[in-house]
Structures are given as C-alpha cells and as structure tokens.
C-alpha cells in the first residue's frame, strides 16, 4: 500500500522540520523505542539497528532519539552515513574520552553499503572501544544485514547486537500521525478534513 506521504501527494515539500514535538511513538516503533532506551541505559552489546523502508520515519526517529539522549548524556552525536564515514576515515581516535559515547547514524546504508570485504577495520575498532569504555552505535538502516558486502568480522558484530524493524501504526493512530505529518510540512487542515482523510487513507507508512 502507498505510504501516507505518497497518498497525500506530499512528495514535493519544503525542508522538513524534525523534532520531538512532531514525533509520534506509534505502535510500529513502540517496542523499539522502549527497548533502545532500556539498552542504552544498561550494559549491553554496543550495536543497535533500526530497519525501515524509505519514508518510514527513520530520520525523525533518529532525531528524536538524539534529542532524548542529549538531555541525560553529554557525548551524543548524530551523523548521516556519509558524515559517519568521514569521521571514521579522517579522525582516527576522534573525540575519545573515558565516558560513554553515543553515535546515532541515520541513513546508515550510505556508509555500510560502501564497505567491501576487508574494509571494516575502522568500524570494528570503534565497536570494540565502545564495548570496553561504554557507549552505543545506533544504525538506522534501509536494507537487511545480508544485503551488505562487508566481511564476517563486522557482520558478526551486528548479529551480536539488537535489531528492530519499523512497522505500521495502528489504524487508530492514523489521524494523529496525519496531523503531525501535515504540521511537519507547514500544512494546516481543518479537523473535519483531517478526519475525512484519515478514514480514506490506509495505515501503511
């Protein structure tokens, strides 16, 4: 089923405003949202993945998580995949500290899909640093782990971590989600119009 964005014809839009105020923890991400925060507050393996299709809300989820963690932790960093690649390649030992570090990587496919067999050393080293010092890597990905061409040294570390797949919201959540999607794009519909649209739209992201 087409996404809510495509059903509404919102493909051409101004730059989106991502913030916690415009984010809905719907049924399709509720478990991931709760478990990621539980894991990050504990002592678990430092690799976490959230997998979702295009326009499933990964970027907004990443921003929401970054803002949430930044309220209670100092070293929280949000990168897209290309920025993360540059950090690893150009800044060996970048911003090392004795405290926990939290790396949120949105659009992680841009980095992970570029790795061939034998090119995972920089990321493996960072994972091992975080495993010893504390901290986490949270990757927001668009494809399954098997789609990447990197080596088993890195693949095994992803398999040792946790992974969630973004699901669809409940039908009852379509109206509030639609309201937030419109607000995010600077569009204001009367309440009756939103209710009419929510009845006609499917609930697929």
The pLDDT value recorded for residue 22 is 79
Q: Is residue 21 part of a domain?
A: no
Q: Given pLDDT bands bounded at 50, 70 and 90, which one contains residue 190?
A: low
Residue-range definition of the domain harbouring residue 103: 4-8+27-167
The pLDDT value recorded for residue 55 is 85
More confident: 74 or 136: 136
Q: How many domains does the chain have?
A: 1
The pLDDT value recorded for residue 115 is 95
Q: Is residue 112 part of a domain?
A: yes
CB < 8 Å & 24+ apart, contacts of 61-66: 61/23, 61/29, 61/33, 61/140, 61/166, 62/104, 62/105, 62/106, 62/138, 62/140, 63/18, 63/19, 63/20, 63/23, 63/106, 64/18, 64/19, 64/20, 64/23, 65/36, 65/104, 65/138, 66/104
pLDDT, tens only, 94-149:
555 567 899 999 999 999 999 999 999 999 999 999 999 999 999 999 999 999 99
The pLDDT value recorded for residue 10 is 44
CATH number of the domain enclosing 37: 3.40.50.300
Q: Is residue 56 part of a domain?
A: yes
Q: Is residue 183 part of a domain?
A: no
Q: What is the pTM of this model?
A: 0.81
pLDDT, tens only, 13-32:
445 667 787 788 899 999 99
Q: Is residue 161 part of a domain?
A: yes
Q: Is residue 204 part of a domain?
A: no
Q: Is residue 186 part of a domain?
A: no
The pLDDT value recorded for residue 13 is 47
């Amino acid at each position: 089923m087409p996404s809510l964005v495509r059903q509404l014809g919102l493909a051409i839009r101004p730059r989106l405003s991502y913030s916690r105020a415009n984010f809905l923890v719907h049924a399709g991400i509720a478990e991931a949202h709760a478990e990621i925060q539980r894991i990050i507050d504990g002592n678990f393996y430092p690799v976490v993945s959230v997998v979702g299709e295009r326009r499933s809300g990964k970027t907004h989820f990443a921003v929401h998580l970054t803002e949430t963690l930044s309220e209670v932790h100092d070293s929280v960093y949000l990168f897209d995949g290309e920025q993360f690649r540059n950090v690893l390649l150009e800044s060996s030992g970048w911003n090392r500290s004795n405290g926990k570090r939290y790396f949120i990587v949105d659009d992680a496919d841009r980095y992970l899909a570029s790795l061939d067999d034998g090119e995972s050393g920089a990321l493996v080293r960072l994972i091992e640093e975080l495993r010893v010092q504390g901290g986490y890597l949270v990757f927001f990905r668009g494809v399954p782990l098997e789609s990447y061409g990197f080596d088993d040294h890195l693949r095994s570390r992803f398999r040792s971590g946790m992974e969630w797949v973004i699901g669809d919201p409940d039908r009852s959540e379509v109206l509030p989600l639609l309201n937030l999607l419109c607000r995010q794009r600077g569009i204001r519909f009367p309440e009756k119009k939103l209710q009419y649209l929510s009845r006609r739209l499917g609930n697929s992201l």
